[in-house]
Structure formats: C-alpha cells, structure tokens
Amino acid sequence: MTSGTSISYKFYIFVVVLLATALFLFYDVYNSEMYQCLAVTYSSSNIALMNDHKPKVSRLFGIKTLDRDFQFDMEGNDVMVVLHIQKTGGSTFERHLVKLEHACKCIQGTKRCDCSRPGAIKKGKRDVWLFSRYSTGWSSCGVHADWTELTSCVPKYMAKKNVGDARKKRRYFYVTMVRNPINRYISEWKHVQRGATWNTSRHMCDGRSPTDKELPKCYKEEWLDVPLDEFMNCKYNLANNRQTRMLADLSLVGCYNLSKMPPEERNQAMLQSAKYNLRRLAYFGLTEHQLESQFVFEETFKLKFDVPFEQTNSTNAELASVTPQQYDRIKQLNSLDVKLYEFARTLFFQRIEWMDAKNRNATRE
C-alpha cells in the first residue's frame, strides 16, 4: 500500500466513524419526540437523588435513547450478556444477576452457576439465559472480553454449545457497569499490585489476537507491588482509557495496530464509537450510584432482584495515597474515559427521569 493510499484509507475510516455517529444522533434527536428533563424524586423506588449527584445537563437525548422498556423472556430466546470491565464493580453486579428471581443454581464456594432457562433441562436442552463469568465462564469468549470480542464471539458460542438449537434466533441484551475513571484506574493499580495481570485475555479483533509488537507487556511475569509512577509510565498499559477501549468497536481503528491511524484520530474515533455503543446497550449502571442502577435495571427488564444493591462507602481507590501530581497524570492518561463518563452520567440520570415520569403518568391513567 502506497503512502498516499494509506493516508486515504485512514481518512476514510475516520470520516465513516464520524458520519455514522452524526447520523445516529440526528435520527435520535430529531426523528423522535424531544424529552424535556424534569425535577423529580423517586418515592416509588425509594431513591432520593441529591442535587449534587446530578450532572449539569449539557444536551438532551431523544426517546429512542432514553426509553428502555424490554420484556426480557427468560424462558424464551433472550440472552443477557455481561460486558465486565475490570474494577467497575462487575463481580458484585454479576453476583446479583445469578440471584435474579432465583433463576440460577450456584455451587456454594465456587464461581460457577447453572443459569439454564426454566424448564430447559427437563426438555433435554442446555440453553442458558445469562452469558457471564459465573454462568458460562471465562473460557467461553476470553477473560474480560470487550465489546469487539463479545459481539463477534457470543452468537457463535451460543449456537455451538446449544446442541439442536443452532438455528434458534436469539435476542442479545448487552449490559455493563461504568465507573469514575480516576477511581477505577487507582483500583486497578492496587489490584495489579496484589498480583492481577489478566495475562490470559485474548484481545481478539478481526479474527486474531494482537502480536507482541502491537501490544507489548509492561511486565515479565507479574507486576507485584508495582509503584504508581511505574504503572503510569508504561505506554502500553491497558488500564489507560480502559472503559473507552472496551466499549468501542476496535475494528474501526485497526484493532491494536497503532500505525493504522494518527493518535488523535484514533482517540476520537474510539471515543465516538464507545459513546455510540454505550447508548445502544440494553443497560448500563454507574458504580457510584448502586440504588439508582438497580432501579434502571428493574425498569428496563421488568425483573426484580432478590437482594437490594448496596453502596460501598469506601473503596481501595479512595483509601490509596496519591499525590496531586499523580492525580493529574491519571486524569491525563484517562482523558477519553473522563469524557465518556461525563456522557454516561448525563444519559444515566436522564433515563431515570424519563422512567420515573413514565411511571407517574401510568399511575395517573
């Protein structure tokens, strides 16, 4: 490929991403009735949002984006897929899911649960309604598989594992948790200090894992007790902007080949793709707002949790000793995640207001 052709290809990909995002936003805002934000309290769901929890509204979303009202058919063909981003409270969220309406049978002392559809075993089938670490395991599509991996792998896995049902048409509902990027980054650093590396992650994209040249390791075998400055200094550290990367369609930016696009173009394309995918997910919650996240989930899927969500008052990230200079560096390294989180908060709270308004209108009727 000549230099001129390479530049044209990169420019073409960048333009396609921007146009796709612009068209989606135009359709969402102008082809649906605009929803004006309301100041409400959540007496029906025992949620009391403090004013300082609510972000300043910088934009309005249309009904197509705000309305999340799915009748999840656990006994039919619906599958809930968990996109588990490291250190976002994903494990806690998944433990709630396997206890959802007593639908899973878990083996005490293990991280494995049987989440077969109600009545499926009696019919001689092994068809599950939940795709997650606890139900299908990490081996299904890889450790902490991202959006790019899951959307490619899950349908194939489900068709292969459910013998006799390969032609079954399923509806997939992707769900995840999103966290304040500064706290999430510090929490990941502390977790790596304790020995976590996730070195068995596949990072599949366009049919292959990245080469060692495309994604060098920051450590040899482990990174125990790594100082924060050393953790930040590795430019290949996947903790940087992890949430944006894991929610974006990486095939749009050449996967892990950083030479495909200039850094700024790549960053903007990833951020726009992550925002686009986040708003299309069936559900996402915010780690910092557990009760509100439970409310949104139950309103979205018309399912009830047996155990209420709880808000943790303190975390390892909040207890960690970080200097102002280190804090600023973390913020810089996660600049895309900071923008994505601002976007997520605005959308999240507007969805709550929309759902509460619908409930109050239904009560009046």
- List, by residue number, the catalytic residues: 144
Query: Number of C-alpha atoms within 13 angstroms, CB side, residue 6?
Result: 8
Which positions ≥6 away from 278 have C-beta within 8 Å? 178, 247, 284, 340, 343, 344, 347
Q: Residue 147, SS3?
A: helix
For 128, the 3-state DSSP assignment is strand
Nearby residues of 267 by Cβ (< 8 Å), 6 or more positions away? 336
Residues in Cβ contact with 336 at an 8 Å cutoff, skipping those fewer than 6 apart: 241, 244, 267, 270, 271, 274
H runs (alpha helix) in 169-308: 181-193, 228-233, 242-247, 263-280, 290-301
Q: How many Cβ atoms sit within 10 Å of the Cβ of residue 325? A: 9
Q: Are the beta carbons of 66 and 351 closer than 8 angstroms?
A: yes
Other Cβ atoms closer than 10 A to 122:
8
Q: What is the DSSP letter of 306?
A: S
Cβ neighbours of 313 (radius 10 Å): 6
Tokens, residue 1: 């490929």
DSSP-based three-state secondary structure for 225: coil
Tokens standing for residue 361? 């209108």
Q: Is 227 exposed, middle or buried (0-12, 13-18, 19+ CB in 10 A)?
A: exposed
